[in-house]
């Protein structure tokens, strides 16, 4: 079985889209693409676009769309993208989505299939702000959903658990709010184009996986 299409996973941080994208990409033998990975790869390989992006990234600034989209087009022209691919967290804005539509058309792909991972914001907040990381081995726990046996201590190596600054409730709140602001219009854009499907990102990994399978089967038929 081959995917033969562009899949786009949209969802807030913590909605589980990365986990699902990885699993489906492995199963379907298609690349799992995020702009972060593409940027790092282009910089590492020293491509023309990578060289342009490098100083911008080093200054901590946002890499402009023309570089991002150039990189996307380059990535999609590689042989391993011929039978489809999964975008994880890209596009982020309507202009990027419009340009991506053009790239897909040029490369002979039809409309993308877009999956929105929807999660109740209370649940997301618990999922994200409950996350504590082992200072020794990097294992992650969730004090609500998957607590360590002894509070504050890693089960595996006894390391002290710490909360990354990104996972503090006030930071999480801001990350979620900015995702909402940015992504709502994008979700509407894809809905208008009739390519949007929604999954419940608060379900278990296996359940979300099943839901995605059904969507993919339906889309094939
Ligand atoms: Zn540990």
One digit per residue, pLDDT tens: the chain, 221 residues? 578 899 999 998 888 899 999 999 999 999 999 998 999 999 999 999 999 999 999 998 989 999 999 999 999 999 999 999 999 989 999 999 999 999 999 999 989 999 999 998 888 888 889 999 999 999 999 998 889 999 999 999 999 999 988 888 888 888 888 888 888 899 999 999 999 999 999 898 999 999 999 999 998 86
Ligand 1: distance of its center to the CA of 201 in Å? 27
Residues identified as active-site: 17, 92, 131, 164, 175
Q: Do the strands 131-134 and 140-142 form a parallel or antiparallel pair, or are they unpaired?
A: antiparallel
- Short-list 20, 18, 5, 9, CA closest to 183: 9
Say if CB 197 and CB 116 are below 8 A apart: yes
Q: What is the pTM assigned to this prediction? A: 0.84
Ligand 1: distance of its center to the CA of 3 in Å? 38
Structure tokens at 50: 């990578």
Ligand 1: distance of its center to the CA of 209 in Å? 28
Which residues have beta carbons under 5 A from ligand 1 (an ion)?
134, 136-137, 139, 154, 156-157, 159
């Amino acid at each position: 079985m081959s995917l033969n299409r562009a899949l786009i996973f949209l969802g807030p941080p913590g909605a589980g889209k990365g986990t699902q994208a990885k699993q489906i990409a492995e199963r379907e033998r298609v690349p799992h693409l995020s702009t972060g990975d593409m940027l790092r790869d282009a910089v590492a390989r020293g491509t023309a676009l990578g060289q342009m992006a490098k100083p911008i990234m080093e200054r901590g600034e946002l890499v402009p769309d023309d570089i991002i989209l150039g990189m996307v087009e380059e990535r999609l022209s590689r042989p391993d993208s011929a039978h489809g691919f999964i975008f994880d967290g890209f596009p982020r804005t309507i202009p990027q989505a419009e340009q991506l539509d053009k790239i897909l058309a040029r490369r002979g792909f039809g409309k993308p299939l877009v999956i929105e991972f929807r999660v109740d914001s209370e649940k997301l907040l618990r999922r994200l702000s409950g996350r504590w990381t082992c200072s020794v081995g990097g294992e992650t726990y969730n004090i609500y959903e998957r607590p360590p046996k002894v509070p504050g201590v890693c089960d595996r190596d006894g390391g002290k658990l710490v909360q990354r600054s990104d996972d503090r409730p006030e930071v999480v709140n801001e990350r979620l709010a900015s995702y909402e602001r940015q992504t709502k219009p994008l979700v509407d854009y894809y809905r208008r184009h009739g390519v949007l499907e929604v999954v419940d990102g608060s379900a278990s990994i296996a359940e979300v996986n099943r839901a995605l399978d059904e969507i993919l089967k339906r889309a094939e038929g």
